[in-house]
Structures are given as structure tokens and as C-alpha cells.
């Protein structure tokens, strides 16, 4: 295709050379130009993961590690055996308080199953003591979809039913964004939850309509930015292990100037409008 004559470059070769040159200049200038956000980010803190993903990373608040219930109010009324906590008399309420957080919790429904519907392996994790993600034996129980395991009670069913059979361990890994309230008590932004049940996404940034009562519609009522977690006593001996929580804080980047394009060859900086 490309050839030179004895007399010099043909038109074809000349055109090709110009085109290649232009492309080279364009690639060089694209590489010379770099976008910078103008935000100074603190370096992410090192966190040592647990030896297994079920175990707490180095920055987690451990609420139950199989030894005792000292992290909970009313923990003395639940049974601890074989490294597991069994639902006893009354709900338990964490002594620590949390706002935006990541929660890991493992639970096992009674085997053989006892009871039916909402009476079959029922407990529940209440974020901020107010918003329930249902814990239920949804492998055995036939109940209403927005009351089964992984549901935000009476607001949404889980995307799918990812239950393991009774007696086996289920995991919830939850990302919780707390609601924001204005000073006058009005809602600025709703709570949101993402939940993974046994490795399967069951709630994808679901925005809650309010709290999760049995007897009336959901509603928001202004509350503190940090509140305890609670776990429900619904009269069924559901078992728990490996409960830990990580506080989630904004990264706290600081804008030091508008975003800009820097030409790394000439040093010229142009603000991005
Ligand atoms: Mg429940």
C-alpha cells in the first residue's frame, strides 16, 4: 500500500505521514492533559480484615463473639451455649450506639421448625432500635412476602428468598444509612438499607418509609443520630453468632480549589467550569 518512488514520496505516503503525525500529537496532548478534582483526600486508614469474612475486621465493634452477652442490655436473659446466643426473655439492646454503619450478623432458625407463618423462627434486627429487617424461617414458613426473612417489615419483601434450611447458618451483611432530620423534626432524607443474605443481594439501597410497626403505617419521627441496635424476642429460640458493626464515616475530603485540567508538558492549569 505505502510505497516511495525514486522521485520522492508519493501523495499516498505523504498523506499517511501527515495523518500519523496528527494522531501522535493528539495522543501526546491527551496524555499530557490530566484531570484533577481539586479535592485533597486523607489517606484511607488500613483495616485488617478478619481471618474469614464472617469475622470482625480490626475496626469493628464486636457485639457478640461467642463468649458472653456483655455488649447487650438484657443479655443476661439470653442463653449462651456452644458459642451461640439463643433468644431468651425480652429483646436485647446493644450498649453501643450507631448511625451509618455496616452490620454483620449470623442467625439460625430452630431445627426442627416450630410454629407457622410469623410464628416460625421469628426474630428481627432493629437498626437504631426502630427499623426492622425481618429474621424468620422463610425456608419452612409460608407468610406474607413483606414479612419474610430479608423484608423490611411491612414495607418491602426481599428481592429473592436466599434462605438456608433450619438449623443452618444464615448471614446478613447490611449497609445502613440513617435518616437525616431537620431541626424542626421534618425528614431531610430517608433511611436506606442494602442487605446481602448468604452472599445474595436482597435489598438494594431500599429507602425506608419510616419505622416498621405491626399495627399502623410506617412513619418517621425525629430521633438521635446514633442509637443502639436491638434484636427481637418473638418467642422463638433463634440462634445468633458473629455479630459486629463498623461505623461508616464520610471520607472528609477538602476542596482546595476548583476541578482543573493540568497540561503536564506546559504546566498550564485550566479550571473545569
Ligand atoms: Mg420479627
* Helices first, then strands: H and E counts in the chain: 1, 22
* Cα 152 to middle of ligand 1, angstroms: 10
* Cα 248 to middle of ligand 1, angstroms: 26
Q: Which of 4-13, 101-110, 190-199, 201-210 has the lowest mean pLDDT?
A: 4-13
Q: What is the pLDDT of residues 187-198, one digit of tens each?
A: 999 999 999 999
* Cα 157 to middle of ligand 1, angstroms: 13
Distance CA 56, CA 80 (A): 19
* Cα 238 to middle of ligand 1, angstroms: 11
Handedness of CA 164, 213, 63, 113 (dihedral sign): negative
- 134 pLDDT above the threshold of 60: yes
Picking from 228, 140, 216, 127, the residue whose alpha carbon sits closest to that of residue 172 is: 127
* Cα 132 to middle of ligand 1, angstroms: 7
Burial category of 82 from C-beta neighbours within 10 Å (exposed 0-12, middle 13-18, buried 19 and up): exposed
* Cα 207 to middle of ligand 1, angstroms: 19
**Residue whose grid cell is 454483620:** 104
Residue 115 has what pLDDT? Answer: 85
The average pLDDT across 127-148 equals 95
Greater confidence, 15 or 76? 76
* Cα 249 to middle of ligand 1, angstroms: 29
* Cα 74 to middle of ligand 1, angstroms: 18
* Cα 112 to middle of ligand 1, angstroms: 19
**Residue whose grid cell is 439492646:** 93
Q: What is the pLDDT of residues 172-190, one digit of tens each?
A: 999 999 999 999 999 999 9
* Cα 109 to middle of ligand 1, angstroms: 12
* Cα 129 to middle of ligand 1, angstroms: 12
The chain-wide mean pLDDT, for the chain, equals 91
Q: What is the pLDDT of residues 61-72, one digit of tens each?
A: 999 999 999 999
Q: What b/e string do you get for 152-175 counting C-beta neighbours within 10 Å, with b at 16 or more?
A: bbbbbbbeeebbeebeebbbbbbb
* Cα 59 to middle of ligand 1, angstroms: 29
Residue 2 has what pLDDT? Answer: 41
Query: What is the percentage of the chain residues whose pLDDT exceeds 90?
Result: 85
Domains detected in the chain: 61-247 (2.60.120.560)
* Cα 117 to middle of ligand 1, angstroms: 11
What are the strands, taking DSSP E only, across 99-238? 101-108, 123-127, 131-135, 170-177, 180-181, 187-189, 192-197, 200-207, 227-231
pLDDT band at 3 (very low <50, low <70, confident <90, very high): very low
Task: Tell me the backbone φ, ψ of residue 36, rounded to 5 degrees.
Answer: -130, 135
Residue 270 has what pLDDT? Answer: 96
- 154 pLDDT above the threshold of 90: yes
Are 220 and 210 in contact by the 8 Å Cβ rule? The answer is yes
Q: In sequence order, which residues have a C-beta less than 8 Å from that of residue 161 and are 6 or more positions away?
A: 138, 148, 149, 150
Task: Tell me the backbone φ, ψ of residue 231, rounded to 5 degrees.
Answer: -125, 130
Cis peptide, bond prior to residue 270, ω within 30 of zero? no
Picking from 159, 166, 241, 231, the residue whose alpha carbon sits closest to that of residue 197 is: 159
Distance CA 132, CA 123 (A): 10
Are 172 and 133 in contact by the 8 Å Cβ rule? The answer is yes
Distance CA 202, CA 193 (A): 10
* Cα 134 to middle of ligand 1, angstroms: 5
The average pLDDT across 211-216 equals 96
Q: What is the pLDDT of residues 39-93, one digit of tens each?
A: 999 999 999 999 999 999 999 999 999 999 999 999 999 999 999 999 999 999 9
* Cα 197 to middle of ligand 1, angstroms: 16
Residue 101 has what pLDDT? Answer: 98
* Cα 153 to middle of ligand 1, angstroms: 8
CA dihedral 232, 237, 239, 243 (to 10 degrees): 20
Residue 20 has what pLDDT? Answer: 62
Residue 10 has what pLDDT? Answer: 46
* Cα 264 to middle of ligand 1, angstroms: 59
Could you count the other beta carbons within 10 Å of the beta carbon of residue 150?
A: 27
- CA-based end-to-end distance of the chain: 46
Are 112 and 166 in contact by the 8 Å Cβ rule? The answer is yes
Residue 100 has what pLDDT? Answer: 98
Amino acid at each position: 500500500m505505502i510505497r516511495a518512488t525514486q522521485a520522492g514520496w508519493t501523495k499516498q505516503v505523504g498523506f499517511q505521514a501527515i495523518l500519523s503525525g496528527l494522531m501522535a500529537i493528539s495522543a501526546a496532548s491527551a496524555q499530557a492533559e490530566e484531570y484533577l478534582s481539586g479535592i485533597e483526600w486523607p489517606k484511607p486508614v488500613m483495616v485488617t480484615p478478619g481471618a474469614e469474612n464472617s469475622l470482625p475486621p480490626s475496626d469493628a465493634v464486636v457485639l457478640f463473639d461467642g463468649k458472653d452477652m456483655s455488649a447487650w442490655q438484657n443479655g443476661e436473659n439470653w442463653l449462651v451455649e456452644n458459642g451461640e446466643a439463643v433468644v431468651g426473655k425480652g429483646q436485647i439492646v446493644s450498649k453501643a450506639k450507631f448511625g451509618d454503619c455496616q452490620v454483620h450478623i449470623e442467625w439460625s432458625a430452630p431445627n426442627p421448625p416450630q410454629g407457622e407463618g410469623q410464628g416460625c423462627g421469628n426474630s428481627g434486627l432493629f437498626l437504631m432500635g426502630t427499623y426492622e429487617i425481618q429474621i424468620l424461617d422463610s425456608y419452612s414458613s409460608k407468610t406474607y412476602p413483606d414479612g419474610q426473612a430479608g423484608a423490611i417489615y411491612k414495607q418491602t419483601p426481599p428481592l429473592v428468598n436466599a434462605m438456608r434450611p433450619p438449623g443452618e447458618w444464615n448471614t446478613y451483611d447490611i449497609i445502613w444509612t440513617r435518616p437525616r432530620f431537620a431541626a424542626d423534626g421534618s425528614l431531610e432524607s430517608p433511611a436506606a438499607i442494602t442487605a446481602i443474605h448468604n452472599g445474595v443481594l436482597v435489598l438494594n439501597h431500599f429507602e425506608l418509609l419510616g419505622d416498621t410497626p405491626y399495627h399502623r403505617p410506617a412513619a418517621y419521627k425525629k430521633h438521635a443520630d446514633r442509637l443502639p441496635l436491638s434484636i427481637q424476642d418473638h418467642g422463638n429460640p433463634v440462634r445468633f453468632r458473629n455479630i459486629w458493626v463498623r461505623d461508616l464515616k464520610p471520607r472528609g475530603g477538602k476542596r482546595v480549589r476548583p476541578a482543573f485540567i493540568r497540561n503536564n508538558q506546559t504546566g498550564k492549569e485550566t479550571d473545569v467550569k
